[in-house]
């Protein structure tokens, strides 16, 4: 498991804004020693060489208009159900116990938040959550890859980090 990769991807999979763009140099430095560095650096070059408004439009087109490409993992598993509500509460409590700060802006099953937690989770929590959410992440990666989106670079790296294949 590569926790540094998961942390970097948690940052790069957030909605593009100026803070993200300002953090790219630090993220590049962190990515340099990783086996997946080529994909990560290509994605960061894409961010560097694209206007912010275009990055935001592509992000929305990629993730916000398709149930098959949304970043909310428990929705993929449970849809809109009581079970999903219970799962969201369980994740929120798990994050809270581990010290992950909840901004209140996103649900706890939002992939960037989930990856941030995995990057610091203890081994048992990591294994349990990866086991539960591996297939939704793999399916998301496959669906993103079909679109030709640059985000497939990140999702493929995440899939490999959690022991899956696209």
- Predicted confidence (pLDDT) per residue in 19-29, tens digit: 999 999 999 99
Q: What is the dihedral of CA 97, 115, 111, 96, to 10 degrees?
A: 10
Is the alpha carbon torsion for 56, 13, 93, 132 positive or negative?
positive
Per residue in 98-115, pLDDT (tens digit) is 777 766 677 788 899 999
* Mean local confidence (pLDDT), 46-63: 97
| HSE-CB of 142 using CA atoms within 13 angstroms | 10
pLDDT at 92 over 70: yes
Who has greater pLDDT, 13 or 86? 13
CB 2 within 8 A of CB 111: no
pLDDT at 154 over 70: yes
78 band by pLDDT with thresholds 50, 70 and 90: low
Min mean pLDDT across 12-16, 99-103, 142-146, 159-163 is at: 99-103
**Tell me, what's the pLDDT at 93?**
86
Which position has the token pair 């790219």? 24
pLDDT at 132 over 80: yes
Give the whole-number percent of the chain exceeding pLDDT 70: 95
87 band by pLDDT with thresholds 50, 70 and 90: confident
Who has greater pLDDT, 86 or 166? 86
**Tell me, what's the pLDDT at 6?**
97
**Tell me, what's the pLDDT at 79?**
60
Min mean pLDDT across 15-24, 53-62, 122-131 is at: 122-131
Residue ranges of domains in the chain, CATH in brackets? 3-161 (1.10.3480)
Neighbours of 89 (CB within 10 A): 11
The DSSP string of 62-131 is HHTS-GGG-SBHHHHHH-SSHHHHHHHHHHHHHHHHHTPPP-SSS-TTBHHHHHHHHTT--HHHHHHHHH
**Tell me, what's the pLDDT at 47?**
98
């Amino acid at each position: 498991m590569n926790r540094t990769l998961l942390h970097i991807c948690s940052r790069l999979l957030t909605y593009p804004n100026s803070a993200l763009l300002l953090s790219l140099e630090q993220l590049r430095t962190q990515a340099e020693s990783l086996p997946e560095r080529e994909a990560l650096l290509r994605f960061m070059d894409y961010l560097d060489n694209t206007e912010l408004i275009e990055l935001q439009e592509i992000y929305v087109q990629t993730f916000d208009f398709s149930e098959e490409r949304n970043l909310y993992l428990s929705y993929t598993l449970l849809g809109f159900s009581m079970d999903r509500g219970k799962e969201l509460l369980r994740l929120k409590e798990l994050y809270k116990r581990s010290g992950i700060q909840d901004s209140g802006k996103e649900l706890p099953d939002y992939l960037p938040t989930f990856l941030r937690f995995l990057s610091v989770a203890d081994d048992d929590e990591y294994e349990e959550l990866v086991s539960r959410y591996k297939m939704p992440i793999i399916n998301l990666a496959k669906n993103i890859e079909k679109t030709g989106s640059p985000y497939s670079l990140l999702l493929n790296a995440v899939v490999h980090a959690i022991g899956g294949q696209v």
